[in-house]
Amino acid sequence: MSGVVETNGVSKWYGEVLGLNAFTASFGRGITGLVGPNGAGKSTLFKLLIGQLRADQGSLRMLDEDPWNNVPLKRRLGYCPEHNQLYGWLSGQQFVETLLRLDGMPARQATLAAVEALKLVGLSKAAHRPTRTYSRGMRQRAKLAQALAHKPEILILDEPLSGADPLARVQILRTISDFARDGGHALMSTHVLYEIERITNNIVLIHNGKAIASGDIHAIRALIDEHPHAVRLTTPRPRDLAQVLAGMDHIVAFEFPAPDALLVRTRKPDAFYKELPEVVVDGGPEVTGLESPDDSLDAVFRYLVG
């Protein structure tokens, strides 16, 4: 087995729509980022990997096994879905514990493992609150906790940072890094290249259902730096936040798309993502959400695919 995940000419149709188009790629050990704009086929690939969809063409192997209806393989897998739905009537502790019991874990062991997993993602204090009261960032961390709690060999993370606040992002990225450092493999999708860059150099670029490039992230960094990167911040005081951020010399423009939103365009996204949590923690206006519209990445993909 050369890669942890191997796909060869995998296609998936949704009726007339092609979700994946002869997708061929090899995902190695450690962390690999699957980077592509919305609608590129990232979630389709992940759903094929977790056995939720069946490939119409081609072959797909994860940990050297076919994932479709493969029950034993699921012991080795942790999955964090893109959507934020949880069993809202369960607390975070009950949510993780219940799913651990499905792994066949005894009650006491499941309780301890759930406590440990929630601590790992920084949710200990909210562990006994119903998950319907969780913010988006807390939901992301609860999903990550259930994916990690049974100590899988591989994590499939579908946009795990989507909608998370800056502090939650730091926590989530740290948790994934620690998992990989301890010998685990992780596939993480994102449409924001700079998120994945903090934890790995290995990426696969996906566009229109095809793998268009793979390998070292630095090789395409230069391309991306030519296109200002957009970040949309949700805050009750967008103008105050813009004033605080104006000191960053890499920011080229501010826009105010909504009364509670600030759109920042920066030429150095990595520096921006690094400096933002410090600004927030140092008494700057509260930032409740952070999203990166994929227009900057789209420009790079248009360049790559000609």
Closest of 116, 114, 109 to residue 91, by C-alpha: 114
Stretch that binds another protein, among 69-77, 118-126, 189-197, 245-253 (CB under 8 A): 69-77
Q: Is 13 near another protein (CB under 8 A)?
A: no
Q: Closest separation between CB of residue 23 and another protein, Å? A: 16
- How many chain residues bind another protein (CB under 8 A)? 35
| The one among 59, 65, 89, 119 contacting another protein by CB under 8 A | 89
Q: How far is the CB of 199 from another protein (least distance, A)?
A: 22
Residue appearing with tokens 């092609």: 18
Cα–Cα distance for residue pair 116/147, rounded to 1 Å:
13
Among residues 11, 57, 84, 288, the one that binds another protein under rule CB under 8 A: 84
87 near another protein (CB under 8 A):
yes
Return d(Cα 276, Cα 292) in angstroms, integer: 14
- Cα–Cα distance for residue pair 73/6, rounded to 1 Å: 15
Position 149 contacts another protein (CB under 8 A): no
Identify the residue among 66, 82, 153, 260 touching another protein (CB under 8 A): 82
DSSP state string for 94-139: HHHHHHHHTTT--HHHHHHHHHHHHHHTT-GGGTTSBGGG--HHHH
| Contact pick of 4, 45, 99, 231 for another protein (by CB under 8 A) | 99
Q: Which range of residues in 49-57, 172-180, 214-222, 261-269 is near another protein by CB under 8 A?
A: 49-57
80-88, 116-124, 183-191, 245-253 -> range binding another protein (CB under 8 A): 80-88
Binding to another protein by residue 104, rule CB under 8 A? yes
Site for another protein contains 204 (CB under 8 A): no
Q: In sequence order, what DSSP letters do the residues of 49-111 get, joined into one string?
A: HTTSS--SEEEEEETTB--TT-TGGGGGEEEE-SS----TTSBHHHHHHHHHHTTT--HHHHH
1 binds another protein (CB under 8 A): no
Residue 146 lies near another protein (rule: CB under 8 A): yes
Report the C-alpha gap between 83 and 43 in whole angstroms.
10
Crossing angle of the two packed helices 136-148 and 92-101, in degrees rounded to 10: 30
Nearer to another protein, 49 or 205 (CB): 49
Q: What angle do CA 23, 34, 234 make, to 5 degrees?
A: 135
Q: Which is nearer to another protein, 102 or 281 (CB)?
A: 102
Cα(101)–Cα(94) distance, rounded to whole angstroms? 10
| Residues at the site binding another protein, with contacts judged by CB under 8 A | 14, 43-44, 47, 50-54, 69, 71-72, 74-75, 77-79, 81-87, 89-90, 98-99, 101-106, 146
